[in-house]
Amino acid sequence: MERLGYYNGTYGPLEEMTVPMNDRVCWFGDGVYDAGPCRNYTIFALDEHVDRFFRSAAALQIEMPMDKQTLKDTLNRLVREMDDGDLFVYYQVTRGTGVRKHAFTEGAGNLWITLTPAHISDGREPVQLITMEDTRFLHCNIKTLNLIPSVMASQKAKEAGCMETVFYRAPGRVTECAHSNVHILSGGTLYTAPTDHLILPGIARAHLLRACAALDIPYREEPFTLDELFAADEIIVTSSSNLCLHADKLDGRDAGMRDAVHYERLREYLLNEFLTATAG
């Protein structure tokens, strides 16, 4: 199978799957999700992603339809159904099925899974970014399905010929990107926004900080500003779909690309970690 869809125990080719209109995701986007890469039929950092998935569900009081180990077993079994082992593994749980009412539907949620072909970038080619004011709600630490601001920001980046949009909040604090975390290297130190309610605590972000520790690169978890972003020696973007990238343009202006030594060490560390963990 090239692309797989799963819904509450039923699965098949993604294009042939259907879901009930009364799933609360249709009315309210009422659910949470997580996702990560798979190589050689081995899902990378699965424990970390599943732990975050369950934390997101608990934050919204969504009852999970299975425990963590059963979910991991299900995901590992499904990837073996695929024609190729290099995949993007996505899963979400919605609050359940019922006639449209704002109050919670009782009972366990609905589990969705999709598996689609994907490959991790090696991070060598720089990307281009734009900035945009962050007008999202104040629960960005929960990986909810309410992604309209991120959708609009991603479309804006696409129309500008860029890979990502960097969000900032007045008076200029940088938070994260539309679907990534963003960090800067300045004077040999990596700066990353703290994991408060304004950003998602990214799995790749956590691996980046562990790489800094292993490579003796100092890092600080503290807010930084748009001015500091533009002045940074390197702008680094991390995500589960592209572990470690750096940018050479920001809002059409030259940016970053002034600390290749530190960036290359981090890029190679993260890439080697991924390749080793998914060697099959």
Give this prediction's pTM.
0.96
- Looking at residue 280, its pLDDT comes to 78
User: What is the Cβ-side half-sphere exposure of residue 247, based on CA atoms within 13 angstroms?
Assistant: 31
Cβ-in-10-Å burial (0-12, 13-18, 19+) of 5 comes to buried
User: Per the CATH hierarchy, to which homologous superfamily does domain 127-277 belong?
Assistant: D-amino Acid Aminotransferase, subunit A, domain 2 (3.20.10.10)
CB 64 within 8 A of CB 54: yes
State the 10-residue block means of pLDDT for the chain, 280 residues long: 98 97 96 98 98 98 98 98 98 97 96 97 97 94 95 97 97 96 98 96 98 98 98 98 97 98 98 96
**Cα(41)–Cα(34) distance, rounded to whole angstroms?**
18
pLDDT reported for residue 145 = 95
Measured CA to CA, the distance from residue 14 to residue 223 in angstroms comes to 41
Question: What are the domain boundaries of the chain?
Answer: 4-117, 127-277
Q: In the chain, where do the E strands start and end?
A: 4-7, 10-13, 31-39, 42-43, 87-94, 110-117, 127-133, 164-169, 173-177, 181-186, 189-192, 219-221, 234-238, 245-250, 253-254
- Specify the CATH number of the domain 4-117: 3.30.470.10
Establish whether 143 is a catalytic residue. Answer: yes
Nearest to 140 by CA among 129, 130, 153: 153
Say which of 68, 72, 101, 143 is annotated catalytic: 143
Q: Residues 222-239, buried b or exposed e (16+ Cβ, 10 A)?
A: ebbebeebbebbbbbbbb
Q: What single-letter amino acid sits at 77? A: R
